[in-house]
Amino acid sequence: MKKIIVLFLLCFFLTPQAYAEEVPDSARPILGDIESGDVLDPAAALRSMGQRMLDGLTEPLAQAMKNASAVLICAVLASLGDVLSLGKTGSGAARLAGVLGITAAAGSGIGGIIGSLAALISDIRAYSAALLPTVASAAAASGAPASASANLAMATLCMNAVLAAAEKFIIPLVTVMVAVATASAAFDGALRGVFDMLSRIARWLVIGLSTAFTAAIGVTKVISAAADEAAVKAARAALTTLVPVVGRTISDASEAVAGSFAIVKNTSGVFGILVVIALAYTPIVSAAANYLGYKIASSLAQIVAGQEITRLISDIGTAIGYAAATAAVSALALFIGVAGFIGTVT
């Protein structure tokens, strides 16, 4: 008896700790000390997260403005070179230096942003591997066995596809876009067509991935919902008829157990969504602030710099925008995947 009590106590104390360790460290600055049990009062959890999100807005905005002003200084210098050499001797070299200076000045910022977005995608991959099976198990136990397994299979497949496309294709494509934009600005817009083509490819991929994921999850949910109802009815009927004397009692008790698992599913699902928001917030806000900063710098550079320099700054902003959109789609995919389980009919 003592052994059983000790085992029960160990399970009780170690399980929440193990679950908490699944939360990536990068989510903690926004998530704070919120644990899965705290989501039973979602308003308080959201309030405290919202405050931390507002507090965390200042630093990325300041950094983005610094990056934009660094680029703007290079644009001013490049235009100074153009003006002082009056479009003659050394003008091409001065503009080339300006173009390279802009990309070099933006380089560390872009590297940091792309690094943080790649780390976000990697965190999402690791967290989805822990979260989706947990929520799926709770959903299956709460009376949706067919839809839970189908949703898990489809969500895992689609998540892997979205994350692989983001990691292996779109994020490197963004770097290539910056390189092509630089070359295009250095050679009087000769590679503008290539940049536009890459830009279109990135846009189609981002839109296509998000649409395909949402459609796949939606279709799976619709197809498997009817199977759940039939499976639960069949199980209850079997318990009532096949188990003598206590069949009806067990069948009624199973409803209470399923209800408890529904609470577990909703709690872990909502907590998972909060973790995804906390994970994605800082890198995406930082990238969005940089996108905005470069677009503002591009508008301001129009006053002093030539068309190619202005376009280059704008194109760097566009490339960062696609990187941010890709990371946002990855986070949204996990969000929709988990929300699909929470919304499962019981």
Partner 1 sequence: MAAVRAIAVSLVAAALAVTIRRDNPVFALMIAVSAALFLMWTAIEPLRELTDELFTLAQEANLQAGVITSVLKCVAIGILARFGSDILRDSGMSAASSSVEVLGVAAGLWSALPLLRMCLEAIRSGL
Contact positions vs partner 1 (CB under 8 A): 66-67, 69-70, 73-74, 76-78, 80-81, 84-86, 88-94, 96-98, 100-101, 103-108, 110-111, 114, 171-172, 174-176, 178-179, 182
Least Å distance, CB 90 to partner 1, is 3
Q: Which is nearer to partner 1, 76 or 231 (CB)?
A: 76
Q: Which is nearer to partner 1, 118 or 288 (CB)?
A: 118
Q: Which is nearer to partner 1, 154 or 300 (CB)?
A: 300
Least Å distance, CB 171 to partner 1, is 8
Least Å distance, CB 179 to partner 1, is 5
Least Å distance, CB 69 to partner 1, is 4
Q: Which is nearer to partner 1, 91 or 214 (CB)?
A: 91
Q: Which is nearer to partner 1, 75 or 206 (CB)?
A: 75
Least Å distance, CB 282 to partner 1, is 19
Least Å distance, CB 209 to partner 1, is 20
Q: Which is nearer to partner 1, 74 or 334 (CB)?
A: 74
Least Å distance, CB 305 to partner 1, is 13
3-state SS of the chain is CHHHHHHHHHHHHHHHHHHHHCCCHHHHHHHCCCCHHHHHCHHHHHHHHHHHHHHCCHHHHHHHHHHHHHHHHHHHHHHHHHHHCCCCCCHHHHHHHHHHHHHHHHHHHHHHHHHHHHHHHHHHHHHHHHHHHHHHHHHHHCCCHHHHHHHHHHHHHHHHHHHHHHHHHHHHHHHHHHHHHHHHHHCCCCCHHHHHHHHHHHHHHHHHHHHHHHHHHHHHHHHHHHHHHHHHHHHHHHHHHHCCCCHHHHHHHHHHHHHHHHHHHHHHHHHHHHHHHHHHHHHHHHHHHHHHHHHHHHHHHCCCCCHHHHHHHHHHHHHHHHHHHHHHHHHHHHHHHHHHHHCCCC
Q: Which is nearer to partner 1, 67 or 268 (CB)?
A: 67
